[in-house]
């Protein structure tokens, strides 16, 4: 499988220069002309035209409040009293490769202090705990600048500098900054930045742990990473694993495919030699856990997987609190990255479970679960976010979870471990499996763990 991906990747590299050239040819961007950033009555505004290669028939027009100034013919415009507090711009046009190109310059308000329109909020530190005003340009230059930070529409008391350190619990809040500036001889100008939500900004993912399942067929699963939980749950004081499941888990039902994947195979064949909590077992399957091998707290968890269809087929990629012996489920907490139902071929479930509350959602897959899909979560001190094939479909914040009615207890600030399994039948999938179904399979291409913006911890035993 991964050899095929390598071939496809090489073909993509060979093809990409052609594709790139076409894209550049069809999506050319043209620079805009620029004018003086500020001016008042009696001063002169200067226009600098943009350079467009192979342009012909080039013209420009000065604009006042969007209308052409017919008397303005040169690249310099003398500001008159009638222009005071009016918006001045310039429009440049030319024919390039047979196509009419038009671009409009930046705008200035005559007599008013100018604040650059691309002024925005950005992170001030690598830890991403402090916000700052970025790209701020004021013309004419002045020290008479005031700031006021807003959180979710309300002014933050005493937050009146160019930087603001926010509480971790506020990472999902919307922040804005109101900026007031007044240069000598110019009118006051006020500008409000666009909203900035810290938790929604692009994140840096660093791979910290993984199992690519590249071992040859017949190889043993890496015992430094995985253990197996065998049986029907009775030995773990959870008959039917707490869900009325039908399978007896065995180590041997998990194996390497030999082409870069791990397969969990469920079958009725051989199940009858085992005695389940309900009588003669109907299925055998497998369940892998990193419990007491490797633990994790916060970060991104990602797996690429596919699974067969059929009533009662229940594959899962999930996390349980490593304190489960001291605080039995649901007190330990559970994070379901991926749960599928064999009878719902294109539906995905992602859920949080705690002592007195659950919060989850579903997503519709582009193709059914028999095709490869990538399932992931970002787990931070403030939220859990679910993704399928790189697209976010659900998010639960700590604040919303605790603030639910009745209030739920957040138990997701400690070590968890990873579970990969294929259950057969049970409450989640609506009861017993289809009597006509004899085999089922879930295949994992890889499991990967990343830190997110430097946040994430691994525990090794």
Q: What residues act catalytically?
A: 334, 339
> In sequence order, what are the residues at sequence separation of 6 or more whose Cβ sits closer than 8 angstroms to the Cβ of residue 249?
228, 229, 230, 231, 232, 284, 285, 286, 287, 421
Candidates 315, 288, 280; CA nearest to 423 is 315
Candidates 361, 351, 383; CA nearest to 452 is 383
- With b meaning 16 or more CB within 10 Å and e meaning fewer, what string describes 190-202? ebebeebebbeee
Distance (Å, whole) CA 110 – CA 90: 14
DSSP lists the bridge partners of residue 355 as none
Distance (Å, whole) CA 324 – CA 82: 76
Tell how strand 87-96 and strand 55-64 pair up.
antiparallel
Residue 18 C-beta-side C-alpha neighbours within 13 Å: 5
Sheet holding 44-48, edge to edge: 34-35, 44-48, 76-78
Candidates 53, 39, 140; CA nearest to 90 is 39
């Amino acid at each position: 499988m991964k050899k095929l991906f390598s071939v496809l990747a090489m073909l993509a590299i060979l093809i990409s220069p052609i594709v790139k050239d076409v894209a550049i040819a069809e999506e050319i961007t043209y620079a805009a002309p620029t004018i003086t950033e500020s001016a008042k009555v009696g001063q002169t505004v200067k226009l600098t035209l943009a350079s467009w290669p192979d342009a012909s028939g080039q013209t420009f027009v000065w604009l006042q409040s969007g209308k052409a100034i017919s008397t303005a013919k040169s690249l310099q415009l003398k500001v008159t009293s009638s222009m005071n507090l009016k918006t001045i711009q310039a429009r440049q046009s030319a024919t390039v490769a047979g196509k009419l190109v038009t671009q409009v310059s930046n705008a200035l308000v005559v007599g008013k202090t100018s604040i650059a329109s691309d002024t925005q909020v950005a992170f001030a530190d690598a830890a991403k705990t402090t916000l700052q005003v970025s790209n701020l340009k004021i013309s004419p230059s002045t020290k008479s600048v005031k700031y006021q930070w807003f959180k979710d529409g309300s002014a933050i008391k005493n937050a009146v500098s160019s930087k603001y350190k926010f509480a971790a619990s506020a990472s999902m809040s919307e922040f804005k900054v109101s900026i007031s500036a007044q240069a000598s001889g110019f009118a006051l100008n006020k500008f409000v930045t666009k909203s900035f939500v810290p938790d929604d900004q692009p994140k840096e993912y660093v791979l910290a742990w993984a199992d690519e399942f590249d071992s040859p067929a017949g190889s043993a699963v890496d015992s430094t990473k995985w253990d197996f939980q065998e049986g029907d749950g009775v030995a773990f004081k959870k008959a039917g694993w707490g869900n009325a499941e039908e399978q007896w888990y065995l180590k041997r039902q998990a194996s390497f495919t030999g082409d870069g994947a791990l397969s969990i195979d469920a079958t009725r064949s051989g199940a009858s030699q085992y005695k389940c909590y309900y009588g003669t077992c109907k299925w055998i399957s497998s369940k892998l856990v990193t419990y007491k091998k490797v633990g994790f707290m916060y970060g991104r968890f990602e797996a690429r997987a596919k699974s067969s269809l059929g009533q009662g087929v229940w594959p899962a990629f999930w996390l349980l609190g490593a304190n489960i012996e001291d605080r039995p489920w649901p007190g330990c907490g559970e994070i379901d990255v991926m749960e599928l139902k064999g009878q719902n071929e294109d539906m995905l479930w992602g859920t949080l479970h705690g002592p007195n509350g659950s919060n989850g959602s579903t997503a519709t897959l582009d193709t059914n679960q028999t095709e490869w899909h990538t399932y992931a979560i970002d787990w931070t001190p403030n939220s859990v976010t679910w993704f399928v094939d790189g697209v976010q479909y659900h998010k639960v914040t700590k604040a919303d979870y605790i603030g639910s009615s009745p209030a739920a207890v957040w138990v997701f600030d400690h070590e968890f471990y990873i579970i990969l399994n294929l259950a057969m039948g049970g409450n989640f999938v609506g009861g017993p499996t289809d009597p006509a179904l004899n085999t089922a399979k879930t295949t994992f291409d890889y499991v990967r763990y990343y830190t997110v913006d430097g946040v994430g911890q691994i525990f090794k035993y």
